[in-house]
Structure 1
Amino acid sequence: MSELTNRSVGTSSAAPAGGAEFRWTRRHVLTLAVLCLAALLDTIDVTVVNVAMPAIRDSLHFSEGGLAWMVDAYMVPFGGFLLLGGRTGDLLGRRRVLVAGTAVFAAASLGSALAPSAGVMIATRAVEGLAAAFVVPMTLAMLTSVFPAGPPRTRAFSVWGGISAAAGTLGLVVGGALVSAAGWRWIFLINIPVGLIVIVAALRVLPADSPRGG
């Protein structure tokens, strides 16, 4: 009897409490969808712009070197401020930083869409990259906090990674369609309604968290 009891206790203690008891709900699905859309909005922007570069070059009279900077102006702040973006979420609250970063990204996208010159385009692209550096780490951090370790978190990260990987192909398709049908400025204008959807959904679906400090 004691052996059977010990075996039962050992089995229950070895079971991962978070993964075994976790049940997917509608709110979990919506949370995953919002976080994936927020990350997609930021990562797809690179490939979308690549498709429109010839049209932007002719419209804003970019030089060859300046055209390369239109891409680099996004990637350099994005890569350089990822760690700061993650730390800011710890200090100020992850949902708050995600919402603020998405709002800045949408505003910068409007600036890119209305850019009258190459210099303005490069400046607004840099702001977009900086905003993305604060949003993308928040999506990963909130996935970790919402979904417990084990199969639930693994599945959530798999979905997030798959959508991020598909951003390259999706950007080529969406960018080509928008440039052909409406002009290059619409590759930036489309970010505004999508960004507003992310902001509203984040405030309604994502859990509020308190600043951690320290």
Structure 2
Amino acid sequence: MSVAEAGAVGPPDQGDRSDAAVLRRGLAAFAELGYAHTTVRELARRIGVNHNFVGDRFGSKLDFWFAVVDFAVAEAELSSFGGDGTLPDEELLREVVRHFYRTAAHHPHLHRLFAEESAHESERMTYLFDKYIEPCLRQLRPVLVRLAQAGRLPRAPQHVLFFAVIGPTLGMTHAPLARRLGRPDDPAITDLEGYADQFADMVIAGLLLPPA
């Protein structure tokens, strides 16, 4: 699913009508078109159902969007914090960043949806931030504070550190640009995972200061 998702050009195969398949097609539509341009009729076409399906099954396009996001975040394990409480802070941060980039490699549509919604103030942005972004940051903040107090992190505002980490996901989600920059047309998932790990190593190397 991951490689097909990463390189998909048109709607996925519509033979599978399972809940998971329907929600994945919805995710692809919202990620590729944006919420405002994803009409109920276009959703029905991409899912392979009649135009009443979304309303009958989910109530509204917005309710379907909520269902898509909740399913996709759970499937990608995007909000899992990682670690078992025994890792040093530096290694825990490294593992969190690596996991984040690997989810972008496996689930680029989900990251594209987050990026698109983050550019607009809306009920959907509030939902993403309150339910998924802020809880993850709440768990990570003590790690960042301890690293900063130990002189291992720059004393930068939270938003600067946050965007320093999420920026490289463009390398996973913007395939047309990546191809023009030299990435193979149809990379294997193992290649994408390798790119994700390289991004993580470079970002952590740039963030972490040498021990005092």
**What TM-score, normalized by structure 1, do the two folds share?**
0.34
Larger fraction in helix: 1
RCO higher in 1 or 2 (8 Å CA, sep ≥ 6)? Answer: 1
Pair member with larger Rg:
1
